[in-house]
Structure 1
Amino acid sequence: MSQELGAWMPHREHPDSELSAARDPVTARARDLARNNGFAAGGIQRETDAVIGAQFRPSARPDWRVLGISREEASEIGEQMDAAFRTWADDPLHGADVTRTQGWGGLVGMAYRTGMIDGDALSVIHWREGGPGPFRTCLRIVDPDLLSNPQNAPDTPLMRQGVELDAWGAPVAYHFRRQHELAMFGWGQNQVWDRWERELPWYRPQVAHFFERHRDGQTRGISRLAPVMDAMKMQDKHARVELQAAVLSAILGLFISSPLSPEAVQELISDGQFTELDDARQSLMKERGLTFGGVRLPVLAPGDSIESVNVTRPAGQYAMFETAVLRRIATGLGMSYEQLAMDWSQVNYSSARAALVEIWRGFMSRRQEFASRFCQPIRLAVMEDAIDLGLVRLPSGAPTLYEAPGAWMRAKWIGPGRGFVDPVKEAQASAIRVALGLSTMEDEAAELSGADYSDNLGQIAREIEQMPAGVMHPAQEKFATIMGVTGPDMRPAADE
């Protein structure tokens, strides 16, 4: 009942009711910001690069205990799965894409970017015979606008915004328009819907749908830009006005004022004397073009004077104001101000390291969630295809793929590395964690540089074989060298 909160009475509604009415305007505004606002476009791209990157790939780790196989068998099958997925994902003919325009990295990056802007990442998993390469599994990243109720019917308990639910509230099918509602081509197809079951009777996935679910009963997502949309738009408008003021100040620097009043000018015009007076003024200025030291002196008609325009700027402390607004936007997007503004002028090692650790924790959480809910169903369909092609061979007596999908599909998804603020210190810290058993070489390689440790080992083995006789490969040195310990007796080097 306080003065500050007494008039603030928001309504409580079902999550789908809250979002459905706002979805179209929020999505349209988010797309406009992503196209035309530099900070929005940059923030979306930087998060996509950090979470997904150019090569988002799994490292298979089948759970050998649950499957009842040996650790060695699980490791061998995991290598087969990774090789099969790479063959499908890195196909130079882009057979993984229905449109054959991009590979797996482009597909998953577009899906994540769409999820940030629109709130939903959608993919239909097709089975196409006769495509390029041996695989039959291919994807289409679907525009979320196509997911809607058939014939634009209102939501019902079992049909919400294009998602068909069962009695438990689980999605069982998705309804997609064949063409966008506002498409200028394919006349009539925008009023035709196709029903895609979530999975086939043996549980092969057909649709992958990812969104951030904040409440029970929520069926669709909302743009990640929604909480900071007003600040982004006002910051953009403020920046434009500030720039316009600067341009106006530069253009209208000086002007000449005359002592003639509007009444005197009107009287001269009515008597026909204004043209003669103006000609006399122009002639006077041309005749008296005096210079002094190479600088021309302004010579005006009697009574005229030169004055300057004093343009009032919209914000005297524009840079500080913009920084404050961008900090608010960065907080809403879950990234640091320095990442959003690309301003590293006030950063030292301690602050950069603290910001990197905090932001990276959020990025890793989003990566794991996106991989689990969007990428893993796609990988399951690809692995079914690979087993059918004989590229992955499961041992006899072990559960089939769909009898134990959680155990067979267990994997760690590897994206871009965290990077280094101080490479020497962080490499030493990495070596110490491994030496103390707090981490593994595989985890350190994935976190710091985004590398596949198995690939690294294979390449290092080849490099060691190619080294000349008597020359040691750097990887053969002991951890003590990295950690600042020298000498054959492993004693610390003396301080200098």
Structure 2
Amino acid sequence: MAPPMLNRLRNLFSGKRSYQAAGGGRRGQSMQTMHHQLHSIAAARGTLAARARYLAANNPLAASAVEAWVSALVGTGVKGQAKAPAPLRNTLNVAFETWTDESDADGLTDFYGQQDLIIRRVVIDGEALAVFVQEGDQIRLRVLEAEQLDASHTATLSNGNVVVQGVEHDAKGRRVAFHIFDRPAGMELGVARQRSRYPASEVLHVFRRIVPGQVRGVTWFAPVMVRLNDLDGWRDAEMMRQRVASLFVGFVIAPDGTAAPLDGDQQGTAVSGAMAPGTLTYLSEPGQDIRFSDPAKIGQETIQFADITEREIAVGLGLPDYLLSGDLSDVNYSSIRAGMVEFRRRVEALQHSLLAFQFLRPVWRRWATLECISGRVEASTAEVLPVAWITPRQHWVDPSKDVIAEIDAINAGLMSRREAVAARGVDIEQLDAEIAADNQRAASLGLTFTTPPPRPPANDNQPAAKAA
């Protein structure tokens, strides 16, 4: 019998065996590990982004995933609505909406188009970069290529600050500056790129943080990149197999053992040309029989394998599979509604923590503060900073049922009318002004519109009324 101390030591060092996933043997050795995730992100981020860019440009599923996330998170654009008192709120909302047309320092799009570009780069590259451009008393935004943030620049500075992959931190770990090239790689045009130090207050660095202490973003395609590449290669192989199989080829024997006067390349006792539909290859060896090719067919199991793989890719990208493939053949009302509810939760979380917090709020703070300083708005900074962001309307699967449920929630005091209107992507002040103007115009023209009373619930057990 082993001493108690020896048993305790044995249990201490063999405790991990209680978790099968931490065990050894052949099964355990085949499982990969990631001991230092921050180091892995730093080492693999650039390669992952480059491969994701290739997939998004060439792979239909990857391109569809990018469009699905951009449409869900941005759509027609997330609009700011000031929370100041009524007169000041209206002034700020009108001024900000006017500014959105002039926000792009390059003059190629508006503020909502810049939101689209930011999210598109976050999904593909894992991060997006923008800088404020001051033009007199006006502020503009310029979206940069994420690779302009010098990932090769990692150093300890003389003032004690530490630069990690182009991002400078002070002694407390706060981001204080970004080291950015003046142009993207490959755009030197005979002049070497120049790297400049931008204060953190002038830079918007947007990425989804998945690890504490993370400095740079990781492409959203990282979990599915191998699957996408393998599926792409498999589909190419299947397509080539079908192309070859479609070349229905016959082999014909010449009675005299010669292939003359046939054209083609002589290979031993056979003469053949390039394979094409309807090709016949003539054999000059007497006594042989004629044979026809047997085209391979795509079986049901092949289609099922492709569908399962596409679902795995959709899960890894955080998307419902019908948004990735566009296939609604297996979707019914209940399944698509349940899928949309869960997906919308995910979208709302990202809109709040990623788009609003890292991009929209800093832009509003900078813009609103400048409006006060320049004197265009007569108010204190504290009054103009509070803002709400109205996301694009989420369309319903069954509008009739959803509207009735929304009205019931408002009547029961479970939600406000402002909340319901904001969920439609509309500013309630603007909506009320439009309704009032419509009513005033209708009254001036002597028009009367009535709303039909709600229909009673259908009773399938009630006998049909007899005709008089």
Instruction: Indicate the TM-score class for this superposition, using the shorter chain for normalisation.
Output: 0.7 to 0.9
Find the aligned partners of 2:421 and 2:242 in 1 and give their Cα distance.
Answer: 49
Summarize the alignment of residues 182-197 of structure 1 with structure 2, pairs less than 5 Å apart: 182-188=186-192, 190=193, 192-197=194-199
Query: Which of 127, 130, 147 is 1:123 aligned to?
Result: 130
Cα offset for 1:47?
1.3
- Does 2:428 correspond to 1:453? yes
CA deviation digits over 1:335-369, x for unaligned, max 9? 11111111112222111111110000001111112
Q: 1:429 to 1:258 in 2, by over 3 A?
A: same
Summarize the alignment of residues 75-474 of structure 1 with structure 2, pairs less than 5 Å apart: 75-89=86-100, 91=101, 95-129=102-136, 136-148=138-150, 152-156=152-156, 158-188=162-192, 190=193, 192-199=194-201, 206-250=202-246, 252-258=247-253, 275=260, 307-312=291-296, 317-369=301-353, 370-394=355-379, 400-401=380-381, 404=382, 408-447=384-423, 449-467=424-442, 471-473=447-449
Read off the aligned partner of 2:231 and give its amino acid letter.
Answer: Q
Read off the aligned partner of 1:387 and give its amino acid letter.
Answer: C
Report the more deviating stretch, 114-123 or 4-13.
Answer: 4-13
Find the aligned partners of 1:111 and 1:329 in 2 and give their Cα distance.
Answer: 23
Find the aligned partners of 2:155 and 2:68 in 1 and give their Cα distance.
Answer: 36
Unaligned runs of 5+ in 2: 1-22, 265-282
Equivalence for 1:21? 43
Q: Does the 8 A contact of 1:417 with 1:450 survive in 2?
A: yes
Cα offset for 1:2?
4.1
Q: 1:111 to 1:277 in 2, by over 3 A?
A: closer
Cα offset for 1:451?
2.3
Find the aligned partners of 1:114 and 1:247 in 2 and give their Cα distance.
Answer: 37
Q: Does the 8 A contact of 1:23 with 1:222 survive in 2?
A: yes
Report the more deviating stretch, 333-342 or 411-420.
Answer: 411-420
TM-score by length of 1: 0.76
SS at the partner of 2:309? helix
Find the aligned partners of 2:32 and 2:231 in 1 and give their Cα distance.
Answer: 28
Find the aligned partners of 2:324 and 2:107 in 1 and give their Cα distance.
Answer: 33
Q: Does the 8 A contact of 2:154 with 2:166 survive in 1?
A: no
Cα offset for 1:411?
2.4
Find the aligned partners of 2:370 and 2:384 in 1 and give their Cα distance.
Answer: 14
Equivalence for 2:280? none
Cα offset for 1:28?
0.6
Find the aligned partners of 1:44 and 1:212 in 2 and give their Cα distance.
Answer: 15
SS at the partner of 1:174? strand
Cα offset for 1:485?
6.0
Q: 1:316 to 1:432 in 2, by over 3 A?
A: closer
Q: Does the 8 A contact of 1:59 with 1:414 survive in 2?
A: yes
Q: Does the 8 A contact of 2:55 with 2:62 survive in 1?
A: yes
TM-score by length of 2: 0.81
Find the aligned partners of 1:459 and 1:23 in 2 and give their Cα distance.
Answer: 49
Find the aligned partners of 2:244 and 2:367 in 1 and give their Cα distance.
Answer: 60
Find the aligned partners of 1:88 and 1:455 in 2 and give their Cα distance.
Answer: 17
SS at the partner of 1:5? helix
Q: 1:382 to 1:473 in 2, by over 3 A?
A: farther
Cα offset for 1:373?
1.4
Q: Does the 8 A contact of 1:117 with 1:225 survive in 2?
A: yes
Find the aligned partners of 1:44 and 1:184 in 2 and give their Cα distance.
Answer: 29
SS at the partner of 2:28? coil
Identity, % of aligned positions: 26
Equivalence for 1:68? none
Cα offset for 1:408?
4.2
Find the aligned partners of 1:11 and 1:362 in 2 and give their Cα distance.
Answer: 26
Q: Does the 8 A contact of 1:117 with 1:224 survive in 2?
A: yes
Q: Does the 8 A contact of 2:121 with 2:127 survive in 1?
A: yes
Cα offset for 1:446?
2.9
Read off the aligned partner of 1:104 and give its amino acid letter.
Answer: F
SS at the partner of 1:137? strand
CA RMSD after TM alignment = 3.0
Read off the aligned partner of 1:427 and give its amino acid letter.
Answer: V
Q: Does the 8 A contact of 1:49 with 1:416 survive in 2?
A: no
Equivalence for 1:38? 60
Cα offset for 1:385?
2.5
What is the count of residue pairs matched by the alignment?
414
Q: Does the 8 A contact of 2:153 with 2:166 survive in 1?
A: no
Q: More relative contact order in 1 or in 2 (CA 8 Å, sep 6+)?
A: 1
